[in-house]
Amino acid sequence: MMDDYSADTFVNRDDPIPTVILDGSAPPRPRTPSASADQSDVETPSQPKGLRGRFSAFKEKAKIQDQLVEKLLAQVVPMEGAQIPQDESSPKNDSPGVARPNFNLTTMSNNFRRFNSRIGVVFVFQARVIRLLSWRHPTHTLSFLAIYTFVCLDPYLLPLLPIAILLIGVLIPSFVARHPATELNLSSDQAIGYSPHGPPLAPAITVKPVKELSRDFFLNLRDLQNCMEDFTQFHDGIVRLVVPRTNFSDEALSSALFVFLFAACIFISIASNVLPWRLIFLALGWAVTCVGHPAIQRQLLSAHEKHIHPQEAKARGWMEDWVERDVILDSAPETREVDIFELQHLSNAGEWEPWLFGPSPYDPLSHARIIGERPAGTRFFEDVLPPQGWEWSEKKWALDLWSREWVEERIITGVEVETEGERWVYDIYDEHADRVGVVEQPEPSTKGKDKATRSPFPKPSWEEGEDGDSRRGVWRRRRWVRLVKRKNFPEVAG
């Protein structure tokens, strides 16, 4: 196992050099790979020698790198007529490390090259995980399952894993790389055992970014390209599987799924402390790992084609019938009652003039009256619109004949209510306070009246009156009501 570790641990060099095609042009000729990453760019005989020649070659290489990355980005970012949004609300100088630069093509190009030079270790780790779970080396997979079994049966060993990985996977291979075993002399019959004593015999392991436009740089580009495609396929598959069943486009199916998940939540919350979680995770880990074995995959595919696939349509039909039969949806849209207040103002000639239709009765103690604001609303009845997301359920507005009820519900004071006729609610003019507002009752006069006829209770802050009463202010209002219902949004064909 220790012989597999070398200074090139995180570089995947066994794959062929990818062919790069940009803008339909002919692919460039592959560069000859060398034995190490530090010598991946081979110098051709026609290349000029000396410091000036090396500087010219470096400039030419940087130019080629910029052109390559710009062509790659040009396929993603539209360069002509594009307006790239910038974040104007991000903090600039609040604290160090908070402000981040906006999008810039040069910065994007530099960061992409640096990122691609260092992403190889992720792809190497991904390849090793795939080899482990696909049973390329059964001894490695069985060793992983043994460790996983110990951790599942004794979860207290879980904090030990990162320490053991650091010791066995990093420190020991790094030490063996600096103190390699002595090469055997085949001409001698004497075997020399490994000894860690003595000074280091080899350089230390380092993880360096690959050189740009080298073989490994293009390998990282290829792996990054395939990783983006895998993520896209995975994302689209999850969207196709989950979103139509959870976004209530089919309300019956989503409601049934909600019922199942709610029942599962109740069951888990009650029975969670008695479930054998160690055995459950142990069985799941073994099942997922064993499914990756080629022989088991062939058996599963055969069983799926023979037993499960013919029953899929039957099971789906049973589920649809159950949803259609047992999941009852309220097809009638929700309805509510909305109101509007018709306001009229008393002119100097003593006539009532139509003023507007507003959402507030503009009563004497309303906030708008106290601060001196004019009432808000629209001049014409036809301009009154339903609330957002609602539509009219009735064709016409209806006059609210129960004017006393809505005055009491809103605790409106200082008004006179008509209980018959047109149901206007007038402001009461207070002659003593010389203002419109709550009526302050004067002391009752005792002249010509017996003391027994005095009323010990004050009058209410609103009064019932009839048309023609002179004790009124300059505003009157009445309430109109109308039913609205939820607006149905038709499904848009995708």
Spell out the residues 6+ positions from residue 104 whose beta carbon is closer than 8 angstroms to its own.
none
Largest CA distance in the chain: 146
pLDDT attached to residue 213: 82
Say which residue, 287 or 331, is predicted with more confidence.
287
R_g of the chain computed on alpha carbons = 42
How far apart CA 88 and CA 82 sit, in angstroms, is 18
390-392/429-430 β-pairing: unpaired
Q: How many other β-carbons are positioned within 10 Å of the β-carbon of residue 418? A: 19
Q: Hey, where are the domains in the chain? A: 2-86+102-182+191-230, 247-326, 335-440+459-486
Q: How many other β-carbons are positioned within 10 Å of the β-carbon of residue 17? A: 15
Express each pLDDT in 399-448 by its tens digit. 999 989 999 999 888 888 988 888 999 988 755 434 444 333 344 444 44
How far apart CA 220 and CA 202 sit, in angstroms, is 28
- Nearest CA to 177 out of 428, 3, 408 is that of 3
CB 247 within 8 A of CB 50: no
Give the chain's mean pLDDT: 76
Which two structure tokens, joined as six digits, stand for 339? Answer: 């109101």
What percentage of the chain exceeds 90 in pLDDT?
30
Q: Is the pTM of this model over 0.85?
A: no
CB 130 within 8 A of CB 141: no
pLDDT attached to residue 369: 87
Which two structure tokens, joined as six digits, stand for 258? Answer: 């909600």
Distance of CA 110 to CAs 84, 243, 319, 356, 434, Å?
Answer: 18, 37, 54, 63, 78
Judged by DSSP in three states, 34 sits in coil
Express each pLDDT in 122-154 by its tens digit. 999 999 999 999 999 999 999 999 999 999 999
Judged by DSSP in three states, 416 sits in strand
Which two structure tokens, joined as six digits, stand for 39? Answer: 């010598």
Which two structure tokens, joined as six digits, stand for 483? Answer: 């039913």
What percentage of the chain exceeds 70 in pLDDT?
69
Judged by DSSP in three states, 376 sits in coil
Residue 268 phi, psi (nearest 5):
-65, -40
Which two structure tokens, joined as six digits, stand for 158? Answer: 């879980």
Spell out the residues 6+ positions from residue 405 whose beta carbon is closer than 8 angstroms to its own.
none
